[in-house]
Amino acid sequence: MKEKSAFLKGMRDGFPIGLGYFAVSFSLGIIAKKGGLTPIIGFFSSLFVRASAGEYAGYTSIATHASYWELVIITVIANARYLLMNCALSQKFSSATGIVKRILVGACCTDEIFGISIAWPGYLKPAYTFGATAIAGPMWALGTALGIVAGGTLPVRAVSALSVALYGMFLAIIVPPSKKDKAVAIAVAASFALSYLFSILPVVKTISAGTRTIILTIVIAAVAAILKPVPDLPEDGGDVNE
């Protein structure tokens, strides 16, 4: 597939993600409003960050007048899972993919963009990830800006109902690969079960949700890699990037 075709396919796949983003970031905008952010500032902060947990932590920190260093540290901790995602994506590139494209793909990485990018057959074409981000990113930022404009006028239940779309999108990402590969299905089922157990067990439930996610990701991915390793793609075959 050529770069232009991959980019257009990414835009197509990024549109439903953008719809879910719009709903979720709208509720973030309401929180940003309480922190004193203007719609313009909220738009660009969401455009460059694109992380619900990180932005929530950032906006609430701003509302409590936290220092810049506190803001940076809490945002890095909340977004630490993206380090793991980008390590996984780095295995999807062919040796012909340049360092600049690799860095830009890493900058585009969100939970959902990672999901569709890692599912790309063969070597990942960066243009696909760029296309998805070109649609989903601005919709996320626009939702935040409009949420700030709306302020707290919408009922809390209405905002919560809008967020359900994101969970449906996650299911759409994980169900097709689970049907094709039994190992993926087992890993998904294990992640659901262990996530629930970690949220109720006496010791681990006190750990932050982000840290629990990182721990489970490392453990489940390591076990799956040992039991069901993915064969390397030949450099002279597959979907190679230029």
Residues 186-225 have pLDDT tens digits of: 988 998 899 899 889 888 888 877 677 778 888 888 898 8
Average pLDDT over residues 112-133: 92
Residue 5 has pLDDT above 80, yes or no: yes
pLDDT, residue 24, reads 81
- Check residue 205 and report its DSSP letter: G
pLDDT, residue 134, reads 95
pLDDT, residue 240, reads 43
Residue 235 has pLDDT above 60, yes or no: no
Instruction: Please give the residue that has the higher pLDDT: either 3 or 7.
Output: 7
Average pLDDT over residues 38-45: 93
Q: Model confidence over 43-85: pLDDT tens digits?
A: 999 999 888 878 888 888 888 887 888 788 878 877 888 888 8
pLDDT, residue 68, reads 84
CA distance 97 to 189: 33
CA distance 107 to 159: 28
Residue 237 has pLDDT above 50, yes or no: no
Average pLDDT over residues 84-108: 91
Residue 27 has pLDDT above 90, yes or no: no
pTM: 0.70
For the chain, the maximum distance between any two Cα atoms, rounded to a whole number of angstroms, is 57
CA distance 140 to 26: 8
pLDDT, residue 136, reads 94
CA distance 57 to 78: 7
Domain ranges of the chain: 3-166, 181-230
CA distance 190 to 92: 24
Q: Are 133 and 89 in contact (CB under 8 A)?
A: no
pLDDT, residue 127, reads 94
Token pair belonging to 200: 């109720």
Q: How far apart are the first and last CA of the chain?
A: 11
pLDDT, residue 236, reads 44
- In whole numbers, what is the pLDDT of the chain averaged over residues? 83
Q: Are 144 and 32 in contact (CB under 8 A)?
A: yes
